[in-house]
Amino acid sequence: MLDTANVPMIGDFVRESLDLHLFFARIMKEHAIFMQTGFLPKDLTYAQQAEQFRCQYDEIIKEAIMLGDCTASMDVLKSGELVTDKTLRAEQKTEMLTGIPIDVTITMEEANLKPDLGTIPPGIEPQVNLLNQKAMALTTDFAGFKEHVLEQVNQCCITTNLFPMQYQHLYKEAEFYLKVLTWIQNHQFVDARVNLLEQKLFWDEIMREHAGIIRHLLDPSEKELCFKAKELALRFEKLEKKLKGEGLPASSFEKLVRENIAASISIADYKSSSTELLLECQIKALSMLSPLLTDHTLREAYYYLRILQTWKIGYLGNG
Ligand SMILES: [Fe+2]
Ligand SMILES: [Fe+2]
């Protein structure tokens, strides 16, 4: 159902687009880093392809930062979904451990973005429109690459240090980025509650998978962290089942959102403390459980939390 009260003006198209790239282009760039570190030496071509995607997403982020200074939403800048207080250190540690160069100036610039104070430049829309098209083309290619690697892994043609489920997870996130971009490009503004349902269906599953992936990358001796991850996975699984229950009345839906906020805060706390412990070398784990991976999943939790906490306000759940 279209809620005309929430139909945005041009400023919202610009703001929503840039907010989205500032979050999701960084997420995609990091997926490229995770994939690149996961390939074995014989699959150098795949590692090089992943590197190319990383560099191309750097360009998208730089452009979004350039256009997004003084246009980004205050909610987004405050949420922690773009950069946390650990992102810079996680990047430096990951670069040291993997040898993959990570441009930290982009992170510093993103952390210093200033919010929109109602001064969005009037001629900016065509540039944002072009950036959206560029990001859509790149993300379509990247989703295809993820899908191809997953097929190769499933057919036992290659072996990598990522679980097949992780490729599936990375693929789903690329598809979701494309989906939201398509909504924005088509000015397809939907009722906030309908949009929240889609967001919830997607992110509950993603949060459950994060807990499962982290648990399996931990050393088995890390019993407490493994146990906590299992608990969190079960919590999100229950929330997914509740949402899929038939005929959920509005009052129950609001209660479910409150439960979701509590669960998302718990998983964010878990990811945040795990990142600190990994940065301090206090966790035994497989190499793929880097502080950049846990910080990455933390930002995804913050993104989801912001959507949950602001869903009543406006279109696309972003306010
Ligand atoms: Fe991700
Ligand atoms: Fe994720």
For ligand 1, a single-atom ion, which residues have Cβ within 5 Å? 27, 173
Query: Mapping DSSP to helix (H, G, I), strand (E, B) and coil, where does residue 132 land?
Result: helix
C-alpha–C-alpha distance, residues 33 and 187, integer Å: 32
Which domain does 134 fall in, by range? 4-317
pLDDT number for residue 313: 41
Identify the nearest ligand to the CA of 30 by its number. 1
Identify the nearest ligand to the CA of 206 by its number. 2
pLDDT in single tens digits along all 319 residues of the chain: 334 344 444 568 888 899 999 999 999 999 999 999 999 999 999 999 999 999 999 999 999 999 988 888 888 999 999 999 999 999 999 999 999 999 999 999 999 998 877 777 778 899 999 999 999 999 999 999 999 999 999 999 999 999 999 999 999 999 999 999 998 898 775 555 567 888 889 999 999 999 999 999 999 999 999 999 999 999 999 999 887 765 566 677 788 889 999 999 999 999 999 999 999 999 999 989 999 999 999 999 999 999 998 876 433 333 3
By C-alpha distance, which of 284, 282, 299, 291 is closest to 33? Answer: 291
Read off the CATH number of the domain in which 195 is found. 1.20.1260.120
DSSP 234-300: HHHHHHHHHHHSTT--HHHHHHHHHHHHHHHHHHHHHHHHHHHHHHTT---B-TT--HHHHHHHHHH
Distance 28 CA to ligand 1 centre (A): 7
What is the separation of C-alpha 278 from the centre of its chain, rounded to a whole number of angstroms? Answer: 20
Distance 210 CA to ligand 1 centre (A): 9
pLDDT tens for 240-281 read: 988 776 556 667 778 888 999 999 999 999 999 999 999 999
Distance 165 CA to ligand 2 centre (A): 11
CB crowding 266-293: b at 16 or more within 10 Å, else e: bbbebbbbbbbbbbeeebebeebbbbbb
Tokens 């790149």 correspond to what residue?
A: 138
Number of domains making up the chain:
1
- Asked if residue 284 lies in contact with residue 183, where contact means CB atoms within 8 angstroms, the answer is no
Distance 301 CA to ligand 2 centre (A): 9
pLDDT tens for 38-86 read: 999 999 999 999 999 999 999 999 999 999 888 888 889 999 999 999 9
Distance 209 CA to ligand 2 centre (A): 8
Residue-averaged pLDDT of the chain: 90
C-alpha–C-alpha distance, residues 101 and 79, integer Å: 27
Percent above pLDDT 90 for the chain: 74
- Asked if residue 19 lies in contact with residue 76, where contact means CB atoms within 8 angstroms, the answer is yes
